[in-house]
Amino acid sequence: MSRVHTTPWSALRLAVVAAGISLLAACAGPQSYVALLPSPDGSLGKVVVQGQRGEQLLTRAQQGALLDGSKPPFDVSNEQLQRDFGAAMRARPIMPEQFLLYFETGGLELTADSKALLQRIVERALARTSVDMSVIGHSDTQGAADANEALALQRATAIAEQLRGLGLGNTVMAIESHGERNLLVPTPDDTPEPRNRRVEITLR
Amino acid sequence: MRHHQQNILRVLAVGMLVAMGAAQSASAQSATAATPQTPSTAVGYVKTVTGEAWVTTAGQRAKAVPGTAIQIGSQLKTLADASLGITFKDNTVMAFGPDTELTVDQYLYAPAQGQLQLGASLLKGSLNYVSGVIAKLKPEAVTVKTPTGIIGVRGTQFVAKVEDVQ
């Protein structure tokens, strides 16, 4: 059996260590927390924290909350953000970019404007260090849903082929059809609408 | 390079099917049924890496490089002085600082069917998150779990830090 003797010397050492720890904690700022920032497009949303010790709502930019929800929200300085998240923010990939291509009625023929856009899409894709893309075909509501599903897939496939031919032969492409289920402009059934006859390209 | 990646994907895909629960497997398949031309289980890809970072899916550990596929269940890990950035199919972006671990728990992106879900667990380290389409269409479908609390998102960017408890 051993006993711990608290000599003045060890008490002093303990005090120094304790002071050091609290100083460190003060420098490190909040330990586990979340902070709200505006999106790259400038819009600001909200963040909700449901913690073990409470719930907090963040609605202002650079407002933070402990992840256990135990304290009211607090402001987080730029310096703090840089210290805690500089590396993560620098690693953030370029935000995805979207293009819309439109078609003449019923077939696979692009409108003249959209044809001209193809080369630009290729250039933008090649400017990214690592790109994957989705090519999603859509139709308007004119005709049967099944036929539109197939037509939209044909459109997406045709565009993907053209992009491959223009220099994106090695790019990962997810080709899909949303048929008439995902209208850009809401219309009743059996309505021709040029803006719904489209292929959506997203570069990531 | 390309063949190498495809082989990794194939291995990961087979592993995933074995490892995933029946329900998850069924939903993942229905979500990606329309995309037979692509590795159907990839829900995102690595875009940026500095230093040493790893992606582990169904027990298969791969060093992260731009183009590495992220799947449901993938565990992402950065070592000291490393960072990693990924972009999901719905344009959600996540980036990680050093000494970070995050798991992709749920991912479902089939907007035409209204199937949307993004669940991740941040075990330690730092995360920079930017909302994608899932958060825009169905905000309550996005959650990031941490050891002490759950972060919910209403279409925005946030940063989160989890101190290592060990």
Q: Å from B21 to nearest chain A CA?
A: 25
B window 3-32, beta carbon within 8 A of A: none
- Residues B68-79: pLDDT tens digits? 999 999 999 999
Map residue B10 onto helix, strand or coil.
helix
Confidence tier at A14 by pLDDT (50, 70, 90): low
pLDDT at B155: 78
Q: B75 phi and psi, to 5 degrees?
A: -105, 125
Report d(CA A21, CA A30) in Å as an integer: 14
pLDDT at B26: 37
CB pairs under 8 A between A and B: 186
Q: Which span out of A16-25, A187-196, B26-35 was modeled with the highest average pLDDT?
A: A187-196
Q: How does DSSP classify residue A110?
A: B
The minimal CB distance from B157 to the residues A40, A172, A174 is found for A40
Of A35-39, A63-67, B8-12, where does mean pLDDT reach its minimum? B8-12
Report d(CA A61, CA A75) in Å as an integer: 9
Confidence (pTM):
0.79
- Residues A80-127: pLDDT tens digits? 999 999 999 999 999 999 999 999 887 899 999 999 999 999 999 999
- Residues A153-162: pLDDT tens digits? 999 999 999 9
Confidence tier at A199 by pLDDT (50, 70, 90): very high
Neighbouring residues of B77: CB distance < 8 A, sequence distance ≥ 6 = B53, B54, B55, B56, B100, B101
- Establish how many alpha carbons lie within 13 A of residue B35's alpha carbon, considering only the half-sphere containing its beta carbon: 26
pLDDT at B88: 98
pLDDT at B165: 62
B window 69-108, beta carbon within 8 A of A: 83-87, 89, 91, 93, 95-98, 100
Q: Å from A7 to nearest chain B CA?
A: 31
Distance from the Cα of residue A125 to its chain's centroid? 18
Q: What is the dihedral of CA A166, A167, A172, A174, to 10 degrees?
A: -10
Vertex A163: Cα angle to A159 and A168 (nearest 5): 145
Confidence tier at A179 by pLDDT (50, 70, 90): very high
Confidence tier at B112 by pLDDT (50, 70, 90): confident
pLDDT at B114: 85
Confidence tier at B166 by pLDDT (50, 70, 90): low
> Averaged over B132-140, what is the pLDDT?
92
Confidence tier at B13 by pLDDT (50, 70, 90): very low
| Residue A127, token pair as written in the block | 């400017």
DSSP bridge pairs for A46: B154
pLDDT at A47: 97
What angle do the packed helices A112-126 and A145-163 form, to 10 degrees?
50
Confidence tier at A34 by pLDDT (50, 70, 90): very high
The minimal CB distance from A36 to the residues B35, B37, B156 is found for B156
> Averaged over A5-28, what is the pLDDT?
51
pLDDT at B2: 46
**Residue A152 confidence (pLDDT) above 60:** yes
- Residues B44-69: pLDDT tens digits? 999 999 999 999 999 999 999 999 99
Q: What is the dihedral of CA A75, A81, A84, A88, to 10 degrees?
A: 130
- List the beta strands (DSSP E) in chain A: 33-37, 46-51, 54-58, 63-66, 74-75, 97-102, 132-138, 172-179, 198-203
Element (H, E) at B17: helix B2-19
Report d(CA A153, CA A62) in Å as an integer: 44
**Residue A2 confidence (pLDDT) above 80:** no
Residue A34 to residue B158, Cβ atoms within 8 A: yes
- Residues A92-103: pLDDT tens digits? 999 999 999 999
- The position carrying tokens 């074995």 is B18
Nearest CA in chain B to A54: B149
Map residue A89 onto helix, strand or coil.
helix
**Residue A62 confidence (pLDDT) above 50:** yes
